[in-house]
Amino acid sequence: MYTKDSINSLLRIYTGKVKYTKTCGTKREYMMKYHPLTAWDKRMHKPTHPDRVVLWCLSNNKWRYLRPEGVTSIQTEF
């Protein structure tokens, strides 16, 4: 089981394929990373959420808010 901190620390370094199950049971697969820009570039604001993991979806070019308990796997090697 993944936690908010473990997901953030893993995707802060790597881009990953995240398999996710929504509360209705629908399964999704996303290519995600922690932030779309490099660490030194602060022009783009990263939103926050107290209970969810906020990650950048590469295929849709937008922020996603995921429940940590919904993440079933993260693949970082392709």
pTM above 0.85, yes or no: yes
Alpha-carbon gap, residue 62 to 69, rounded angstroms:
21
Share of the chain above pLDDT 90, in %: 79
- Contact between 70 and 19 (Cβ < 8 Å): no
Residue with tokens 């398999």: 19
Cβ-proximal residues to 52 (8 Å cutoff; 6+ apart), any chain: 4, 65, 66, 67, 68
What are the tens digits of pLDDT across the range 47-78? Answer: 999 999 999 999 999 999 999 999 999 999 87
15: closest CA among 57, 47, 44? Answer: 57
Alpha-carbon gap, residue 78 to 74, rounded angstroms:
11
